[in-house]
Structure 1
């Protein structure tokens, strides 16, 4: 029977094709066991068998100094620190001493309108004033006795202020009545007004006995931090910078630059062209001689930002406020690399810490104005605590 005798596509044609078709050759060693190394070697030989050697001959050679991909060795994870500033609170003295006064420090960024650190509370009262609150004071932890603080600033700028707030024991009357004795009586007139001062002390003792656990806002002031740092950069150690509201004739930065840094213009310290560095200036002692009376029950952050921005203007409305005369001495310096007797924001001791009974230095938690992306270096088990 011939294929020509059957019509194309018919059943008979299909049978004829099937009977006359030849099988494919069997794959050799298909089911044989072979080690993986032998298979990899055979595949590599097959890839190189028909490879063209001059395939990339026309492509320019790669410059070894500028590789296509650069692999950098990552840094070891470590705790993030900004530029660190050490502030020591030395003394706080008013014209009259009739009751305990409590103070706190914090950093604010006016441009970002953010508080960039937690509060650091410190106590500079005399033993006599502390005795008025003895019925309300339990055994104090050593961390509450700190008078030195280390502030960390990740984004230093010309708009950072150190804000100081004062509080007193809660008493009857508004803040104006409570602050009036501090604005009227002078230390030189203590003998003449002895009876009035004794009456005020007696009233303060009564309030301390009844309301010693409660506080009320009293006064506040602020320091333009970068101006202090820029001014201290050319001063000798332990130079005192006077900040007196009654003496200044322009803004705070104008007055201080004219009296201390006569050779440095105001534009240089406030233009923002200078690099904002907190690591190279010399330590300086500030004497703050005036505070602003607290207006109202509380000072909101929105009002505070307006006041801080206004301090840098020559026609400051704060010049018209009646100040409360006092003397607060602060020592500002770059923080040492390995401070002794230092406590972390979590109140953990940082080595070296030779004696647990010594008054510590507190590290103050930073609230960065912008996000900082760093790996976690501390854990709740406290088994990986930082050591200097």
Structure 2
């Protein structure tokens, strides 16, 4: 467990500071507060999960059959969902452009391996120059570094400048960004893809938090060679434990990724539930409205107590404060677990607040903890 708790400069902290959100059991042990007493808002996952129905016994007993050619198969259902409210979708996008994976994390790990397989014969690209926005979800950079590539960080507002001044083989963006909430328009992203493509480069866009604003998604443009879009079922649907995500790209690279994954990469129960959840239009529409309202409430509450502007998405709000580490620990002592964001050389330390489960008791728990802070 020791390697989970690092300070902003990588050294061991005297205080509790997990590298990822959701470390509830570890927090309960560290602060000696029972797990059921906590308000865990550290993850950015919808606290109102899609309601799980009964799963037929046969789904547990049998391996999932290949449904790529079926209109009601998981990948076609997912494609219909992702394209339904997307603006300017390319009519060429079809089932051959989407691949289900065991969470978007599996796709994050696969893409550096795909790059190595494609460019293994190129001395110039053998070690890719990979750029990712500073402070963003760390697993992207880790995956590329572990495959021997050089990973650099860029501030969100400096990307155009980067592409004109630095060699870039792979640009990785989270849109909207986690944890800053920064957004880029599809038009801007396609301009950057065009620059990268002219050099044989890749643009990878992680849209894990895009479900509440689907009109801004790039999934309708993935036939562009060298463009990859990742989607997650875990965040918006509140089903992180399901381990279901998707990668969308040009037909050729999707086929290569499918071969690398092999058969049965996604469990039968995950496929069964994912297919049902992605078709539940009534629940989806209600959540898009409810989450937007709850996020506005959260932002207003935080801005009241910290007197600073929050940025985020419909699933979380982020603020930067000179006493972020102190605030994190003081909230934890009152059984409120948030996500501490270590400082980088381009971003100050901060705190990410997910949405509490929407009960007045939970909102009161959070407000009481905030009101007791002495900063």
TM-score bracket for the superposition, by shorter chain length: under 0.3
Q: Highest CA radius of gyration, 1 or 2?
A: 1
TM-score norm. by structure 1 comes to: 0.22
The structure with the largest strand share of the pair is 1
